[in-house]
Amino acid sequence: MMQAPKRAMVMAAGLGTRMRPLTNDRCKALVELGGKSLIDWMLDRLAEAGVEEAVVNVHHFADRLESHLSQRAAPTLTISDERDELLETGGGLAKAAPLLGDDPIFVANIDSVWREDGTESELRKLARAFDPDRMDALLLITPTANTLGFDGPGDFFLHEDGRLERRGERATAPYAYTGVQILNPRVLEGLPVEPFSTNLIWNTALEAGRLHGCVMDAFWMHVGDPEAREAAENRLRSFS
């Protein structure tokens, strides 16, 4: 079994347009939920899972985000600076590749929040399921019915052997991507440092049968806009 990743990439460079007006004076990563910024929710989850180093990309209100991150003790943080050009998710990974090392890493969005339910954390379970011999990426997915703030038709079908298949032209799919994955950095080799989506990386893995999914047990909250944030606040209060 592969050792759990000690390194992560946290995607925090987006403009947060859907989160306005809450992002009129800050980046989405610094929008608070339950008294804690979204990026701290994710960094705390990663630290709990044993991540020692995290790379964070910055663009929108970058100085303010860097100042906030400088107050954290763990994990150790490195900034991937996208002030000059917003590179989207794939381009952001390509630019950060020299900072990510050669071993599999967690890659996480900052608008993905959940409350742990079981004895094993979702990220540790994801790490335990990752097999670098069979997978280029392992996505943490969730049944669409077990979500808050996600109103899409679903992203993937899951085969018995764990391989993923896109919804494609079908009206719905049973699983949604939660914004967290384990990625083998070798898939970033030779990719251009220009704006493109992680979907292009996944497409290559899909064609090779190397894109897999791991189903989350916890209730997942996608905090993508002010209404979803308010609903997530109410949900968190119901837990306490």
Quick one: average pLDDT of 182-206? 95
Residue by residue, DSSP assigns 83-99 as SS---HHHHHHHHHHHH
Q: What is the pLDDT of residues 132-161, one digit of tens each?
A: 999 999 999 999 999 999 988 999 999 999
H or E element, residue 212: strand 211-215
User: Rounded to whole angstroms, how far apart are CA atoms 149 and 221?
Assistant: 6
Q: pTM for this structure?
A: 0.95
pLDDT score at 83: 93
Nearest to 177 by CA among 141, 205, 148, 153: 141
Domain map (residue ranges) of the chain:
7-239
Domain 7-239: which CATH class? alpha beta
Average pLDDT, the chain: 93
Buried b (16+ CB within 10 A) or exposed e, 160-173: eebbbeebeeeeeb
Buried b (16+ CB within 10 A) or exposed e, 72-106: eeebebebbebeeeebbbbbbbbbbbeebeeebbb
What pLDDT band is residue 4 in, cutting at 50, 70 and 90?
A: confident
Buried b (16+ CB within 10 A) or exposed e, 195-217: ebebeebbeebbeeebbbbbbbe
Quick one: average pLDDT of 79-105? 94
